[in-house]
Structure 1
Amino acid sequence: MGLDGTRGQQAPQAQRTSSVPPQRTLPFDLAAWATEPRPDAPPGVFRLGHRPHNETRAEQAAVPARPLLLRAALNLAVGAVVYLQGAPLIQSLLTAVGLTVPSSFVVSFLIALAVNVAVLIGVFMVFGSMGRWAEVWRRWVAPLLSRTVTHEEPPADAETPLTTDPWTGIRGAAPQVARRLDGEPVGDVDYARIRHAWETVLADPELLPAFAEQVEVRGAAACAHPSEARDLPGRSGRHDLLTRQVRLGTAQNVVKNPPAHRSAGFALDPQLIGTSLLAVGPAGTGKTARLARPVAEALCLQALAGTACAVVIGAAESDLGPDAWYDVVIAPGDPASPYGLDLYGAAADPDEAAARLADALLPDELAARAETARTALQQVVGPYHAAYGRYPGVRELRALLGGDQDAWAVLRKALQAGGLLAVHEADLLHRESRHGRVDDPGTLLADRLALLDRPVFARSFAGGPDALPPFAMRALEHPLRVRVKLPERSHPEVARMLSRLVVAQFVQAASARTERSLFAGLVVDDASAAVDAQIVRGLQRMRAANAGAVLLLRTLVDLPEPLRAPLFGAVGCRMAFPGIAPWDGRLFSEAWGTHLVTETAVTHTPDTSGGLVRKAARAGRKALSGTTAQTESVTTRDVERHRWSPSDLAHALPSGHAVASLTTVDGDQVPPLLVDLRD
């Protein structure tokens, strides 16, 4: 990474629709934020301000105050009696057996002191443990003494930072850089970006003079993102850019949640998103507002810090952040759109580009003809690219696939002029022989392309002189922020095709990157049209490419049935929102498996024991009270139960909550957590 925030070749020019977003309006305490403890925690726990779970203390705190104080007082009374009676008794016994022969007052005093101390220690160990005196001290006595003596609240049970200097490492190696930054208003994005640049300097010390010059000239704006943005306007999420986490809610303090996660913040980071996340829930349950938008905001902030690139796909009406959050905004059909879309993703291989486009054009019900459609498109795109050195536009491609004789004559003439006709003659002959036949896939593809060959999309995909600058996914080598707005209301079928095309391009480009130090994140607000067999296989490859996707679905029924189980196996993180259908909950329940639970059965049977007297007493009791004396037997056994049953997921999840299981790219797993996304 260069110290100017760019990587290798130039990225597409960032959109400059407004001035540089200002830093936070409220004062930002950099020293407190940067040096606040971030203890190690299991995956999914928000580490900033986290207090590690103490299971013993939690069990003690669960004891009600009244029984705890009563038990402590009883043990104190008994312990006092044992001490007052035990110490003299032991001294008397020692004297009686002749083990001690006091020769002076000093020796007698020392022996008595030793006996009293030993008995006192024994009393504290035995009765203090049974009476839980340590818990009473922690919960009531220590806070009372603290307020009485110092008039202050007792210190929190958290780690104290060793230093309050946020520039400790830089100050030791480049003190002039630290002094320059001390006088600057530095935000969390600035700090994360400069720290990331400093890590680059540590890896290559020859960059130190350039880094120092950048900071000297620009201060906190050094090594800025190519857009010169230093923050996101209107950001609302809770982020920690040092751990690259975004806090989404709080794991509930319930038995089903692991003890280490109870009451802890629930967060996502690239280590989790790198295994991809699938979220399922009906509309209105908060998938977009409480999951997609915060994750998109986090990826955009990390892009400004130089550690990620983000591609966010959703309907134009979806609330995935304002346009000012993004460098590239692609809105096909919108006259105000600043960028168009490269339908081929700037792929170097014509066959690969054609295959990707063919998969996107076909509807789900015609997926069985995908192979013949790929071949037909390759037989057109390959010769055209060889003849003209570029890929055909929508109108040119539609004419060739539809069998337009004039278009084919022009293509033959161009190939012959370049001496390439012999190489592509077989493809041309085969394609021309299929024109007009009932089973010609070219006709089907031409009909699908007609949806894109509309006046409203004339500048979005065509390669004419007035076309918009096309965005290609090969730009994922740079810390870009890309928003794709799909025209779902006006052109729903076009939106489905573009969703599938952009997701396929992202998966292919993310896996083929040479610069993988950037995390490539994809957020798809409605992935029902974007998932096919190629995408499912691509999700698994992205784990090793420092990339991941967040896919949102209203229901799994929107996907073809053969894709549902493979998709569950391809993603490492899964979230179920309230109101999902029982058949959707079944897949979640099966994926999360079972665990052993202790089941207690109580059986009551009539009491027939005893002799004549007891039987007569029971008969009299029954006559007087009308109840039969019974015996109670308790049976305990371990049985396997689903962690979350389909019925629980469908009917028992409260509003604003979700159940999420997590897996890191290293393979660490977290069982399903009940999370309150409103907190």
Structure 2
Amino acid sequence: MELDGAQGHGDRTTTTPPTPMPHQRPRPPAFDLPAWVAAPRPEAAPGIYRQGYRQIDPDRAEEARVATWPLLLRAGLNVIATVATYYIGTVVLMYGAGFILRWFDGTSPDQFNVVQILINMVTVGCAAAVFWRTGRWREVSRRFLTRDGWRQNVAPVLAKAITHEGEGSARPAVEPEPGPVADPWTAQRFGGAAAAAETLDREPVGDVDYMRIQRAWESAQADPAFVPAFVEQVKVRGAAAFSHPSGSRDLHGRVAHHDLLVQQVRLGTTQDVPKNPQTYRATGFALDPALLGTSLLAVGPAGTGKTARLARPAIEALCLQALAGRACAVAVGASDADLGPDAWYDVVISLGEAGSVYGLDLYGATQDPDEAAARLADALLPDELTARAESARVALQQVVGPFHAAYGRYPGVRELRGLLAGDPEVKEALVKALREAGRLTTHERDLKHRDLQQGRADDPGALLADRLALLDRPSFEGAFTMDGTGKPPFAMKALDHPLRVRIKLPERSHPEAARILSRLVVGQFVLAAVAREDRSLFAGLVVDDASAALDTGTVRGLQRMRGANAGAVLLLRTLMDLPEALRTPLFGAVGCRMVFPGIAPWDGKFFSEAWGTHVIHERVVTHAPQTEGGVVRRAGRLGRKALSGTTAQTESVTTRDVERLRWSPSDLAHALPAGHAVVSLTAVSGEQVPPLLVDLRG
């Protein structure tokens, strides 16, 4: 076990003389680690932001809707009714008791007093029990008689009345109570690492630092021999101990609310509307690896907030968890997609840009040449030629396998294009290398079959060579070379490490090449995530526009990722961008589905059918003119109509249980307000959450 791993250089600080600034913004307050650790995080249903969450009784939630003054007025009226009931009930019962006691001789005054006391007790108890509930005195006591209620509802009013402060006063009327505080280093203090705990007490520690150090401590607990190494590392580097290989300890410019202790990122607030289940109303809405592990599909037109309110917070959370040593993150999108600054990532691959430091491994560092060739063939074929996928895979395998056997590496784009097109020089060099390696006999059959296919009208090699020409452009120079002469190629096998990777696609300059690369990268991620031996890190993928990134193999692989501690966030403008054969399988492959405002009704139909129906209690009220009665009642109704202009009517109420769509296609297409979304969730454990209306603003 290696506690420090690939350490960074830590944080280096330099001291500079202060410069007076007349309009300098105040510094943000320091992170309060003890209070953050001690914050309540009760168990909650999937999708609820747990930090500070308090489960509300449905009855109390209904009572809390009543405004203050109507609540107090009703309570006062019930007090009057209680007193009146007591006096009337006492008089009636005492009169009845006295009448009964007169029938018995020798009743003493003491016995009469006992009866009177019992009558008073019964009367008071019954009246109080009835009018306590009808007057909602439980809600009154909660708002004004408890400590929290007094501080929130009464103290500000009293302070305002005494100090005569205006509504716009910025000074709080009462000081907030300090929250709970806990010792964040209890485990180390009493587990043999007291010196490390004392060192950390003297340093500012952020939430990422805390989670990273706690993970290292958990690893050290596997063997007591590693505890001294843990203590030494903390004493030397303090809060920067066990830092990420990049040396980063936080993300600059993060904006979402994160709770790394339970790996949640808050996206918004579920609305208090009848369509939402009572448990979720007015609660924080959050995502975590337990939900992302089933993958999430989000559909909405451009400009509705898919990237800013979903993709960016999701990749921000994954990058923070990577810095804490608990995840690896891959973000795929156009160069101008707002998926965070480049400083958030360890590897930035800007395909089509000369300044890109890294290239891309077209084969994902797969050890099996046939598997690598099949994945590349699927990415190269356009959607309209998927029927030729099998022949394309075979054609590519017939050249990739022999090349790998001859040279011990995979061919680059230019080499592969020459082999598929039948370039004599490239082929002769390959045959010579195979003969020298003693592998010509093994692969001679594949090469002969490739020769027979060349020149035919249905030769898949010619099609693949034409598609590879899209990647063999001057702007991609050195991006796909495999012989060590170009840029260092990034391979998806690195998902075993807490890396943060950003892949920028040239959607404007090379749209078809971007489609090929998007499909290739996403397919490689799915294969690599499932093939990992060490699945302790959550592997997260965020694709800003997945319309070109999905094929049959990738959709099938999404389901396998559920058991591999991996998941994807896929954004689409419309389901119509996908081939028709992929739409239904995609809905079945993902566990979380999200709709943004402005989708087309035919898109809404997929979500509406997937979410199904539920039983509601329907109440129908009908009105009909009154016709019964004799001459007098009819004359009265005629007079009422002449004077008021209204007709006397009878009201009929019918109640029944009926099945209705949870969200109809029309509601999804036209009734969603801006800044909102409807989302359904499925956890890796199988627990499901019906569709929720969520406000994603703020």
Cα distance change, pair 622–637 in 1 and its aligned pair in 2 (3 A):
same
Q: What are the within-5 Å matches in structure 2 for residues 276-295 of structure 1?
A: 276-295=295-314
Which of 269, 276, 281 aligns to 1:262? It is 281
Q: Secondary structure at the match of 1:661?
A: strand
Partner in structure 1 of residue 168 of structure 2: none
Unaligned 5+ residue runs, structure 1? 7-12
Letter in structure 2 aligned against 1:526 = D
- Residue 454 of structure 1: CA displacement? 1.5
After TM superposition, the structure 1 stretch with the greater mean CA deviation from structure 2, 244-253 or 410-419, is 410-419
Residue deviations 1:396-420 (CA, integer Å, cap 9, x gap): 1110100111211111111112221
The change in CA–CA distance for 1:588 and 1:172 in structure 2 (over 3 A counts) is same
Give the deviation of 1:126 after TM superposition.
Answer: 2.1
Structure 1 letter corresponding to 2:189: R
Correspondent of 1:33 among 33, 36, 52: 36
* Identity rate, percent: 64
Map 1:388-537 onto structure 2 (within 5 A): 388-537=407-556
Contact 2:156 2:173 in 1 (8 A): no
**TM-score, normalised via structure 2 length:** 0.90
Residue 387 of structure 1 corresponds to: 406
Q: CA deviation at 1:160?
A: 7.1
What code does the residue aligned with 2:697 have?
Answer: R
| CA 431–115 in structure 1, closer or farther in 2 if over 3 Å, else same | same
Letter in 2 for 1:516: R
- Listed one character per residue, the Cα deviations across residues 266-304 of structure 1 (whole Å, up to 9, x for unaligned) are 111000000000000111111111111111110000000
- Alignment correspondent of 1:297: 316
How many residues were matched structurally? 667
C-alpha separation in 1, matches of 2:670 and 2:359: 44
Counterpart residue number, 1:131: 135
Aligned partner (choices 651, 656, 680) of residue 661 of structure 1: 680
> TM-score, normalising length from structure 1?
0.92
The partner residue of 1:44 within 34, 43, 47 is 47
CA contact (8 A) 1:314 1:486 kept: yes
Verify: 1:58 aligned to 2:61, yes or no: yes
Tell me if structure 2 keeps the 8 A contact 1:37–1:160.
no
Deviation at 1:34, TM superposition (A): 1.2
Q: Is residue 183 of structure 2 the alignment partner of residue 165 of structure 1? A: yes
Match of 1:320 among 325, 336, 339: 339
What letter corresponds to residue 147 of structure 1 in structure 2?
A
Q: Distance in 1 between matches of 2:296 and 2:234?
A: 38
Match of 1:362 among 381, 384, 401: 381
- Pairwise CA distance, 1:613: 2.5
Question: What are the Cα deviations for residues 454-510 of structure 1, in whole angstroms up to 9, with x where unaligned?
Answer: 122121111344411111111100111011011111111111111000000000000
Q: Distance in 2 between the 1:86 and 1:465 partners?
A: 99
Pick one of 578, 583, 586 that aligns with 2:602: 583
Tell me the CA shift for residue 90 of structure 1.
5.8
Task: Name the CA distance, whole Å, in 1 between partners of 2:491 and 2:10.
Answer: 21
CA shift, 1:83, in A, is 3.1
SS in 1 for 2:674: coil
**Using the alignment, how far apart are the partners of 2:241 and 2:566 within structure 1?**
27
Distance, in Å, in 2 between the alignment partners of 1:319 and 1:550 is: 15
Corresponding residue number in structure 1 for 2:565: 546
How far does residue 74 in structure 1 lie from its aligned partner after superposition?
Answer: 2.6
User: How far apart, in 2, do the equivalents of 1:154 and 1:40 lie?
Assistant: 31
Query: Which amino acid in structure 1 is aligned with residue 78 of structure 2?
Result: N
Select between 509-518 and 331-340 the one with higher mean Cα deviation: 331-340
CA distance in structure 2 between the partners assigned to 1:209 and 1:590 by the alignment: 58
Distance 1:518 1:189, change over 3 A: same
Give the superposition deviation at 1:177: 2.0
Deviates more, 1:397-406 or 1:631-640: 631-640
Measure the CA separation in 2 of the matches of 1:400 and 1:167.
61
Q: Which is worse superposed, 517-526 or 215-224? A: 215-224
After superposition, the Cα gap between the structure-2 partners of 1:428 and 1:332, relative to the gap in structure 1 and judged at 3 Å, is: same
The Cα RMSD (Å) is: 2.9
CA contact (8 A) 1:277 1:550 kept: yes
Change (3 A) 1:413 1:554: same
Larger deviation, residues 422-431 vs 141-150: 141-150
Instruction: Tell me the amino acid that sits aligned with residue 548 of structure 1.
Output: G
Quote the residue 1:251 is aligned against: 270
> Per the alignment, do residues 656 and 384 of structure 1 end up closer, same or farther by CA in structure 2, a change over 3 Å counting?
same
1:225 Cα deviation from its structure 2 partner: 1.0
Structure 2: stretches of 5+ with no match in the other structure: 16-26, 160-171
Within 2, Cα distance between the matches of 1:141 and 1:639? Answer: 43
Aligned residue in 2 for 1:3: 3
What are the residue-to-residue correspondences of 1:202-281 with 2, within 5 Å? Answer: 202-281=221-300
Quick one: structure 1 residues 621 and 83, their matched pair in 2 at CA, closer, same or farther if it must change by over 3 Å? closer
Is contact 1:20-1:228 (8 Å) kept? no
Say if 1:17 and 1:324, in contact at 8 Å, map to a contact too: no
Matched, 1:147 2:161: no
